[in-house]
Chains A and B, each alone.
Chain A
Amino acid sequence: MQGIHGGGMSLWDFYARNSGEVLGLLGQHLSLVVTSTAIAVVVGVPGGVLLTRRPAWRGPILGLANVFQTIPSLALFGFLIPLPFIGGIGATTAIVALVVYALLPIVRNTYTGIAGVDPAVREAGRGMGMTDWQLLTQVELPLGLGVILAGVRVATVVSVGTATIAAAIGAGGLGVYIFRGVAVVDDTLILAGALPAALMALAADALFGLAERRFAWRGK
């Protein structure tokens, strides 16, 4: 079958010739992922903590986050574009969407991590006169950190993949190569975007896995 393959050059030639652009897109991609994950942590961890304090809210909030998760990414980007402030074409919309997707794993894991702390530990802490804040910061968060980090890990890895779609709405990132490649049926271009994205996801997974092992409390 006769295909229309652009260039026909190898992937390495492509990277060598376009190193500036590649680094630029890589940087954009990283920025999308890091920014959105950071926001999701700042919102999601306290959110998860709140759920442990207000059990009545757990069902509705986890349910809502669950629903967000099921929205197809391109559709979510499309919904957000017309909105003022957080919408429009470009990185802002992409980051909002990525935050939405990162929330469920982070909120849920924060809740599980803290709720999983031995109730006797909590009772002893309270009984000895620890304030709620002291209990949270000195006992619950340290003990739940492993599970929380696992949630952040999942969220980050997913973000790396979803961020490739952000190129459709002008947010840049490695998806630009992928979309360009798809438009002209050029495997080299597609790979030029997909390969670094896959590597980035693997690296994020490994890094957070390391952090989990290092910081998580492993008892008995």
Chain B
Amino acid sequence: MTRPLEVQGLGYELPGKEKRETGNGRFLVRDVSFTVGAGETLVLLGRSGSGKTTTLKLINRLLEPTAGEVRIAGARARDLPATRLRRRIGYVIQEVGLFPHFTVARNVGLVPRLEGWEPPRIAARVRELLAIVGLDPDTFLLRHPHQLSGGQRQRVGVARALAADPPLLLLDEPFGALDPITRVELQREFQALQQRLGQAMVFVTHDVREGLMLATRIGLMHLGKLVFLGTAEEFRASEHPECRAFMAAA
């Protein structure tokens, strides 16, 4: 049985002569391999500049890998046109990036509309998703992003990512820009969501507590390499210096 996401030997080398402070020279990501099953959440943990966001972007080809292979549900990511690939992957970013001139309904229904769904089907799906992320459809359908709080916006962002029912969800520090109280609230709700939905997820964060809470497995990245891959328990017990450092900061 093919898993939703398989990453093998993934690497990304910066073009040109740029050097980064990672100590790895021009490699932002080097030889990263992991798989994620349905219903599983892989948390990519690491310091700033460890390569976790870059890895995420290599999966949906916002950056093109210079080495290695990505397979989505068995198909090679490289073989699909990038836009088609991305429509099968949900993408949530820290700044959310809702379209300011679209209503909440149009924002959430974006990918279904791009994929040519029938309008009634889109409308029903939007309502369903808003309910899932905890927003009352009747109140929020016709609002615009600037009328929403930060937490509400990110809920819409998640709903948008789930709209076309993709097998894989990528989240890049989705709660990083929220105040602590809202953040905790959303983390809890997200945990509940994980159980309800069957998506495979890759969740990037630098917050170890968040990671431990939401992870099926944790992938710790350091200087572009995956230095640890295992369950939360294994992470807590690990002797690896980087794991130790993170646990100390938890």
Q: Which residues does A use to contact B, with CB under 8 Å?
A: 118, 120-131, 134, 138-139, 142-143, 217, 219-220
Contacts and interface: CB of A to CB of B under 8 A. Distances in A.
A188 B101 CA distance: 51
Contacts of A134: 114
B110 A120 contact: no
The winner among B96, B100, B144, B160 for most chain A CB atoms within 10 A is: B100
B97 A129 contact: no
B170 to A, nearest CB: 8
The winner among B86, B101, B160, B170 for most chain A CB atoms within 10 A is: B101
A128 to B, nearest CB: 6
B10 interface: no
Contacts of B89: 129
A139 B161 CA distance: 18
A130 B110 CA distance: 9
A220 B146 contact: yes
B91 A124 contact: yes
Contacts of A118: 95, 97, 100
Given A120-B93, A219-B146, A127 B62 contact: yes
B145 to A, nearest CB: 8
Interface string B83-94: 111111101010
A128 B91 contact: yes
B83 A131 contact: yes
A95 B67 CA distance: 54
Interface string B43-85: 0000000000000000010100000000000000000001111
Interface in B25-47: none
A139 B84 contact: no
Nearest to A142: B101
Given A120-B96, A123-B97, A138-B99, 11 more contacts: A121-B97, A124-B96, A128-B91, A128-B111, A129-B82, A129-B84, A129-B86, A129-B88, A139-B101, A143-B99, A217-B101
B60 A121 contact: no
